[in-house]
Amino acid sequence: MNRERFTGKRNEGQKNDRNSSERGERRRFVRDIDKRKPVQKHADRKQSGEKQVGASGKPQAQPAGKEDAAMPLNKYVAHCGICSRREGAELVKQGKVKVNGDVMLQPGYKVQSGDKVEYEGKIITSQKNLVYILLNKPKNYLTTTDDPKERRTVMELVADAGDERVYPVGRLDRNTTGLLLLTNDGELAQKLSHPKYNIKKLYQVTLDKSLSKMHFDKIMEGLTLEDGPVQVDAMAYLEKKNEIGIEIHSGRNRIVRRIFEHLGYTVEKLDRVMYAGLTKKNIPRGKWRLLTEQEVINLKYFKQ
């Protein structure tokens, strides 16, 4: 996005038409959301001949490629659909993974075709079928695979997506709605979660009061929170002054809420409307769809 386009800046000739300019900014912001890789309806994809990753709510898996012989242990654990490679390395270091009955503390250990790898007392095997699910998360669901308090989790919403074990990529707060990707592709999860890839997210924020122009400018200039500086990529007023569109690549915990809380605002609603070029268009709240092959390719091989 062009930052200047979304910061509300105007040249001298536009100062006398402030309201008209701001309405134009809002329209362009919403139009940009709609232009970001719109999702085709199932019937449209069928007519166009586009090959899908799944149909009728049941995943058609991606081929995993070569056999997993001589694969690093943390990568093998990730390919089992348990976690990302980085998280797999931590599980190994913590002594939670066994190879052939013995605890293995080296994430780089090369798993051979005859090895038996165990996690939590169960033998795990590398997934040959890769699944990619895009969920429009509703409120009051936890982004976790399991909750000791037995509260509702996002896994309940994708329970009918097939037999493959998937897990969420990143996290949305319990009261945050919008796009969430779930997969058993550990390598892709690692890429999307790593800060160096600058994966862009677009949120629609509703505040308890109007965002002042002074605070708008402060956010665009960059804030310093308790865990360090944060920079947003673009921002705009929407229909009302307390409704904000914000684009950011930081994946730090509760980062969008904390930006506004730092300036004395309460976030009443937070909705992620775009993630890594994917939008929630044609995905009702609480529903999901499978990514197309082209979308998977875009996530894996193209820069955002």
Distances (CA, A) of 21 to 17, 195, 234, 236, 254: 6, 35, 17, 12, 32
User: Could you say which of 93, 124, 155 is where a domain stops?
Assistant: 124
- DSSP 8-state secondary structure symbol assigned to residue 40: P
In this structure, are 208 and 243 located in the same domain? Answer: yes
In this structure, are 50 and 144 located in the same domain? Answer: yes
In this structure, are 74 and 116 located in the same domain? Answer: yes
Residue 16 maps to which CATH number? Answer: 3.30.70.1560
Residue 147 maps to which CATH number? Answer: 3.30.70.580
Is 189 strand, coil or helix?
Answer: helix
User: Could you say which of 124, 144, 169 is where a domain stops?
Assistant: 124
Predicted confidence (pLDDT) per residue in 118-175, tens digit: 998 888 887 668 899 999 999 999 999 989 999 999 999 999 998 888 999 988 999 9
Instruction: Out of 173, 217, 227, 271, pick the active-site residue.
Output: 173
In this structure, are 56 and 140 located in the same domain? Answer: yes
In this structure, are 134 and 52 located in the same domain? Answer: yes
Least confident of 14-18, 99-103, 169-173, 265-269: 14-18
User: Could you say which of 124, 145, 162 is where a domain stops?
Assistant: 124
In this structure, are 10 and 114 located in the same domain? Answer: no
Domain total in the chain: 3
In this structure, are 20 and 168 located in the same domain? Answer: no
User: What is the value of pTM for the model shown?
Assistant: 0.64
In this structure, are 91 and 107 located in the same domain? Answer: yes
In this structure, are 260 and 166 located in the same domain? Answer: no
In this structure, are 288 and 164 located in the same domain? Answer: yes
Q: Give me the domain span that covers residue 140.
A: 42-61+129-195+279-301
Averaged pLDDT, 99-128: 89
146 given a catalytic annotation: no
Predicted confidence (pLDDT) per residue in 40-66, tens digit: 333 343 333 333 333 334 434 343 334
pLDDT exceeds cutoff 90 at 179 = yes
In this structure, are 157 and 289 located in the same domain? Answer: yes
Residue 92 maps to which CATH number? Answer: 3.10.290.10
> Which residues, listed in sequence order, are joined to residue 59 by a DSSP beta bridge?
54
pLDDT exceeds cutoff 80 at 93 = yes
> Which residues, listed in sequence order, are joined to residue 71 by a DSSP beta bridge?
111
Distances (CA, A) of 291 to 54, 59, 196: 8, 10, 24
CB 293, CB 300: distance < 8 Å? no
In this structure, are 223 and 261 located in the same domain? Answer: yes
